[in-house]
Amino acid sequence: MNSKFEKKILLSSLSILIATFAIVPALSQGFAETDVRVKDSQNISELDVSALVPQITDIKPIDVLDTESKVKFRGGTEGWSLVGGYALPSEIHIKGTAVRGDDGIWKVQAQGKLKVDTRDVKLDLKGQAQDGHLVLRGVGTLEGGQQFKIVLVGSYAPTLIEGEYALGFRGAWIQFGDNGFRLPMMQVGKVFVSKS
């Protein structure tokens, strides 16, 4: 597995597998517990979706970011890093502050720790967040002195628990400064946000 094409195929396949394992149980449970009626068995487009869509109009997450201009946060994600064609368990832990500018963009500063398999690396991260999208960039140094850059691109959304946000990095990688090697990662988790 030496070519970039083979690595991209592996990453794509792994993403599809993970998505399948996450979606199939949810779909099968949802379909097993609902009363779905098809008005015309010849035309699936006339499916009565009212039984599939829960009545969630009264549920509104409490979004701390709607009311505050400065917040602190802590949390992290777990997932996989692809190293040499193998998926190794990895984690990213972050803790920091965010300040909302007049333009509505949050300026984020965080201290972080990246763990891949049994190795830990400390990170300094800076970035921006707006409308559920997050980009963090940082620089760290490996045990042997080799420097690297990390870029995390993801999304966040409030959960139904006050101050808790779901966090997922859909584009996360490490680029080593001397060889430009990118280490693909898939990460999901949550952060807790409170007034600063």
* All domains of the chain in start order, with CATH: 4-51 (no CATH), 64-195 (2.40.160)
Spell out a b/e string for 108-142, using b for 16 or more CB atoms within 10 Å of the CB, else e: bebebebbbeeeebebebebebeeeebbbebebee
- Measured distance CA(195)–CA(160) in Å, rounded: 17
Instruction: Grade residue 192 by pLDDT with cuts at 50, 70 and 90.
Output: very high
Read off the pLDDT of residues 62-108 as tens digits, 9 standing for 90 and up: 677 777 899 999 999 999 888 788 888 989 999 999 999 999 899 99
The distance between the two most distant Cα atoms of the chain, rounded to a whole number of Å, is 67
Of the candidates 100, 152, 155, 154, the one whose C-alpha atom is nearest the C-alpha of residue 123 is: 152
C-alpha of 146 from chain center: 27
Give every CB contact of residue 5 below 8 A, 6+ residues apart in sequence.
none
C-alpha of 148 from chain center: 21
State the pLDDT at residue 54. Answer: 54
Q: Output the CA–CA distances (angstroms, integers) from residue 132 to 97, 113, 159, in the order listed.
A: 16, 22, 12
Read off the pLDDT of residues 132-154 as tens digits, 9 standing for 90 and up: 999 999 988 777 777 788 888 88
Place of tokens 């990895």: 90
Read off the pLDDT of residues 11-57 as tens digits, 9 standing for 90 and up: 444 444 444 344 434 333 333 333 444 444 445 455 555 554 555 44
